[in-house]
Amino acid sequence: MANESTSSTLSELYTEIVAEAQFVASEKSIMRNLVKNYAITGGGKAVEVPVYAQVSASAVAEATDLSNTAIDPSSVTITASEVGVMTTLTDLARNSAPRNVAGDIGKLFGEALARKQDQDLTALFDGFATALGDGTGAISSSVIFNALATLRENALNVDECAVVLHPKIAYDLKANLTNTFANANANDLSNEALRSGFVGRLAGMNIFETSNIANTGTAGDYKGGAMHKDALAIAMMEDVKIETQRDASLRADEIVATSVYGVGEIHDSYGVELHYDSSIQ
């Protein structure tokens, strides 16, 4: 079997004194809190989400029958699938290390699955029919107000909308807010961007940064999104689960982390793709 965690691959842990472990930085998951969450329970591996179109009322004269309005919702089906990661930890590696190696591996695997969920959700930005930018220019604050106007046109509550950008794209937004870091007409928002680098709220929407947005294939080119929480959804059948299985003949334990979920777009008009190129590479 290949890719086991053996005493050779974990040799760095076998000193008499081992300092606190350092983990490669991992982006915290943010997307699950910004989208609709569904649970897949009972039979089957999919959830069907009914989508009701907006209806309109009209004036009616006294003693006049109302005309009938048909209610015929469409639906979106989100189907769950498995994602997972595994390693095999030998007894010698476990027993020789003064740390809880299995616990360390579990932490790494849990973060990997959470990161995968974020990556799957941010990949859906590319599916929004409404797009701002073509990947050739830098983002500016006016883009955020443009996106807000598009969302508000659909009668969406701005408090339930958010913007998600790659950090390199967010850099240009911050630079624009502070007029290349030297704004003579500074306001509270630009001052905060100067002090802490945190944009906070712009156009009434929270601005989030995440490195879990894939590059389009061109350096500095990323697709972010402005969206209402009902634009996208994640359907969880099984959240992050970490298990071990004994392999006696190998004198080792398999450490397996899995999650079963699906992602999908619910309301296309509730999201705006933000396709911009970073001025820094």
The domain containing residue 165 runs over which residues? 4-10+28-50+74-277
Pairwise CA distance, residues 208 & 34, whole Å? 10
220 contacts 263 by C-beta, under 8 angstroms: no
| pTM of the predicted structure, to 2 decimals | 0.82
Tell how strand 74-79 and strand 46-51 pair up: antiparallel
**Backbone torsion region of residue 220, taken as left when φ is above 0, otherwise alpha when ψ lies between -120 and 50, otherwise beta:** left
| Number of separate domains in the chain | 1
Q: Is residue 59 part of a domain?
A: no
**Residue 235's beta-bridge partner residues?**
38, 262
Work out the percent of the chain whose per-residue pLDDT is above 70: 84
List, for residues 125-154, the tens digit of each pLDDT value.
999 999 999 999 999 999 999 999 999 999
Q: What is the CATH number of the domain that holds 97?
A: 3.90.1690.10
Which of 20-24, 71-75, 241-245 tops mean pLDDT? Answer: 241-245
* DSSP E strand stretches across 74-127: 74-79, 81-90
Work out the number of other CB atoms within 10 angstroms of the CB of residue 7: 16
Specify the higher pLDDT residue, 225 or 241.
Answer: 225
Pairwise CA distance, residues 209 & 226, whole Å? 12
List, for residues 242-281, the tens digit of each pLDDT value.
888 899 999 998 888 899 999 999 999 999 999 999 999 7
**Residue 258's beta-bridge partner residues?**
84, 241
Single out the residue of 135, 144, 117, 154 nearest to residue 231, CA to CA. Answer: 154
Q: Name the least confident of 88-92, 172-176, 270-274.
A: 172-176
Q: Is residue 153 part of a domain?
A: yes
The confidence band for 22, taking pLDDT boundaries of 50, 70 and 90, is low
Q: Is residue 35 part of a domain?
A: yes
Q: Is residue 16 part of a domain?
A: no
173 contacts 199 by C-beta, under 8 angstroms: yes
Give the SS3 label for residue 118.
helix
Q: Is residue 198 part of a domain?
A: yes
Pairwise CA distance, residues 273 & 125, whole Å? 6
Which two structure tokens, joined as six digits, stand for 17?
Answer: 């004194």
82-103 mean pLDDT = 86
pLDDT (0 to 100) of residue 189: 52
Q: How many residues are listed for the chain in this entry?
A: 281
pLDDT (0 to 100) of residue 281: 76
Q: Is residue 62 part of a domain?
A: no
Q: Is residue 60 part of a domain?
A: no
Single out the residue of 277, 233, 225 nearest to residue 46, CA to CA. Answer: 233
Q: Is residue 244 part of a domain?
A: yes
List, for residues 121-130, the tens digit of each pLDDT value.
999 999 999 9
